Amino acid sequence: MRNEVVFACDMSALEPGQRTEHHDVMRTLFGAVVSVQPVDDGYRFMLEDEDEVLALVGRFIALERRCCPFFDFGLHVAAGQAPGLVVRGPAGVEPFIQAEFGGFLPAGGGFTSSGARR
């Protein structure tokens, strides 16, 4: 069972330069999403299978966890499959994830009512 986590962002956690870097990382990382799959309390973002994209995942997590410490992150890399970044949070976090990252998805790559990417 998960411990209770406060579902609140700390907008002061990043310096202005870090916030700019974080925005750039999110734009590039989520621009490399090929599909989105709902998972319990979050989403799995399937990524392009490129070394540069995998390197961005680490930087994204390092920055995002400072301003949104309620997220749980996972990275799954398996032979013959696209890498997947999993972002989870407290119950009800899915609309927040859609709002936070959906604008960075490739054109036409928004979420459907089921949460999957179109």
Chain mean pLDDT for the chain: 88
Give pLDDT tens digits for 22-64.
999 999 999 999 999 999 999 999 999 999 999 999 999 999 9
- Looking at the predicted structure, is the pLDDT value of residue 95 above 90? yes
CA–CA dist 101, 103 (Å, integer): 6
CB 96 within 8 A of CB 88: no
- Looking at the predicted structure, is the pLDDT value of residue 8 above 90? no
Residue-range domain boundaries for the chain: 16-101
Extract the tokens encoding 106: 């490739």
- Looking at the predicted structure, is the pLDDT value of residue 118 above 70? no
Give pLDDT tens digits for 63-90.
999 999 999 999 999 998 899 999 999 9
Give pLDDT, residue 115: 53
CATH of 16-101, one of 1.10.3430, 3.30.200, 3.30.1360, 3.30.2010: 3.30.1360
Radius of gyration of the chain (CA): 14
Give pLDDT, residue 107: 74
